Structure 1
Amino acid sequence: MSASVEYVQEFVQVDGARLGIQVYPEPVGRPNAPVVLVLPAMGVRARYYRPFAAALRDAGLAVVVADLRGTGESTPRPSRACRYGYAELAADVGAVRTALKERLDGRRTLLLGHSLGGHAAVLHLALHDEPEVDGLALVAVGLPYWRDFTGPRRYGLLPYTQGIAATTRLFGVWPGWGFGGRQARGVIRDWAHTARTGCFPPLDGADTEAAVGRIGMPVLAVSVEGDQYTPHPTLDRLCAKLTAAQVQRERYHVPGNTLDHFTWVRAATPLAARIADFTAGLPAR
């Protein structure tokens, strides 16, 4: 199937924000197919995942891709007036699920997060009761703790990430200079916390580290060869926190292709097949 397959653009209203969701056609000949809800990376529009959505659909999965708050078709546009952070991104996942409930009720459901979208998915499952999600897939996700990088990058990462956080505090918003697109101060604050400490920040008074350890569903955790932002050790660190989960830890590469944190999306046919196989093996509710 061509990556040009069309989706239906829909919107979900939540707490003064509008979340854009892209609903792809059901896979041919697969009524009530399992559903994958894809949550993008920081600053990456949902439409960027069209090749990946096409591969997932070819593999027999129904696909919905949601723009993160403040990105793509979702509002509000990050500004000094925006204070949202990880807590709101995690809650937004539930708002999208609720909006889709009537159409997807009873179908096997997988949350799939890329980078920041993976953080939102993990924290949603940790902090919100979500019995209707059957599994979690993490692709190119990690806690970007500076000590988990190697070579010169290890010593440059801490001042780089904390410099972004300081700039955001100064301007009241991250302007998107060379990294991550325009972002609200809370998102950058919470992301910088993970880079500095290797831990999720406390949210709304909750101990997120303990809550993540209570996630008990199957998890497929895939790091990408050549990923410059979330190399293998950063995902290993995140997986180590999922102490109650059944984690399948894998590395992804495609012979003849040079991949990185973003370009894997355009070479994802084998990965889509693996995700479909993982989803088929999820236990019945």
Structure 2
Amino acid sequence: MALRHYPASSSLPAAPVAVVLPAMGVAGRFYRPLAESLVAAGFAVVVADLRGTGDSTPRPTRASRYGYADLADDVGAVLDALKADYADRRTVLVGHSLGGQAALLHLATTPDAPVDGVALIAAAVPYWRAYPRHGLVVGAYMQAIGLTAAALGVWPGWTFGGRQARGVIRDWAGSGRTGRFPSIRGVDTDAAVGAVTTPVLAISIDGDAYTPHEAVDHTAAKLRAAPLRRERIARIEAEGRPAHFAWARSPAPVTDLIKDWHATLPPHR
């Protein structure tokens, strides 16, 4: 797995660490404006390429067997890799879309994870009933992608998500159908997410067709034990990109929310 490090200012030797987990099929380098914005706000930043994406290897093939369970484990591997450089630092996960789902699943399956907070940005279970417009079309589209990945043995990335292992697409499409996180090694992760006590900031964006406000609300409702701050922000225009991605290229509103929320977190464990 590839990690990009953006050190904090030398005047902040104990700066908190923000670990950015990207969306499906999005390379970590895409988040450089976000990383630089967070550094300016007083964080050290590490951006991880998800398994098989960006500079992480190998590329998904028909031989790839991994799914959401492995992505959740990968979050732990990233945190372990950072211990040498960032031991005893307050650490927050900043998960965009699929990266946010992986972050929640990691906390659900690793209750003692060394994480002080999770910022979810346009991150939600893609439940078809939570799409106020064209929910049936969205649901059918997700299931068609799932069936195609199963038939081909890999998702080639046609129209959506980049090249992905069929297990990732299977779990994504399954959660879109049921509205629940997939079980991991026999663990009911929906129930386990409900037991997470790590503080969560959940942000949704006006005009986001991929992850509408209602989908984030549906997922946030699962966090029954976590201190939750729910925010909605206006659509951000950047480079003509869809709302789901534009915020990462012009990230000031999101950075401001993360900085303000971080200041309210309890002392580092």
* Shorter-chain TM-score range: over 0.9
Aligned residue number for residue 12 of structure 1: none
Q: 1: distance between equivalents of 2:54 and 2:97?
A: 16
Determine the C-alpha separation between the residues in 2 that align with 1:256 and 1:165. Answer: 31
- Report whether the alignment pairs 1:121 with 2:103: yes
The answer to whether structure 1 residue 74 and structure 2 residue 56 are counterparts is yes
Percent identity between the two aligned chains: 55
Long gaps (5+) in structure 2: none
CA distance in 1, matches of 2:114, 2:138: 38
Q: TM-score, normalised by structure 2?
A: 0.95
Shift of 1:25: 2.2
Does the 8 A contact of 1:140 with 1:230 survive in 2? Answer: yes
CA distance in 1, matches of 2:183, 2:83: 29
Q: State whether structure 2 residue 22 is matched by structure 1 residue 40.
A: yes
1:62 counterpart residue number = 44
Deviation at 1:32?
1.0
More off after superposition, 271-280 vs 251-260 = 251-260
Shift in alpha-carbon separation, 1:185–1:276, aligned structure 2, 3 A: same
CA distance in 2, matches of 1:144, 1:272: 24
Query: Which amino acid counterpart does residue 69 of structure 1 have in structure 2?
Result: R
Match of 1:169 in 2: 150
Structure 1 residues 77, 256: closer, same or farther in 2, change over 3 A? closer
Number of residue pairs matched? 266
Contact 1:34 1:279 in 2 (8 A): no
* CA offsets 1:162-213 (integer angstroms, 9 cap, x no match): 0000000110000000100000010000000111011011111111111101
- Contact in 2 for aligned 1:83/1:185 (Cα 8 Å): yes
Provide the secondary structure at the position in 2 that maps to 1:210.
helix
* Residue 87 of structure 1: aligned partner: 69
On the 8 A contact 2:111/2:196 being kept in 1, the answer is no
**Partner deviation per Cα, 1:34-92 (whole Å, 9 max, x = no partner):** 00000000000000000111111111111000000000111121110001000000000
Instruction: Let me know the Cα RMSD of the aligned residues.
Output: 1.4
Q: Match of 2:248?
A: 265
- 1:146: which partner in 2? 128
Q: Aligned residue for 1:102?
A: 84
1:158-237 equivalences in 2 (<5 Å): 158-237=139-218
- Relative to structure 1, the CA distance from residue 183 to residue 56 in structure 2 (aligned partners, 3 Å threshold; closer, same or farther) is same
Cα distance in 1 for partners of 2:200, 2:186 equals 26
The AA in structure 2 aligned to 1:208 is: T
Of 116, 120, 134, the residue aligned with 2:116 is: 134
Structure 1: gaps of 5 or more residues: 1-18
Query: 2:117 touches 2:198 (CA, 8 Å); kept in 1?
Result: yes
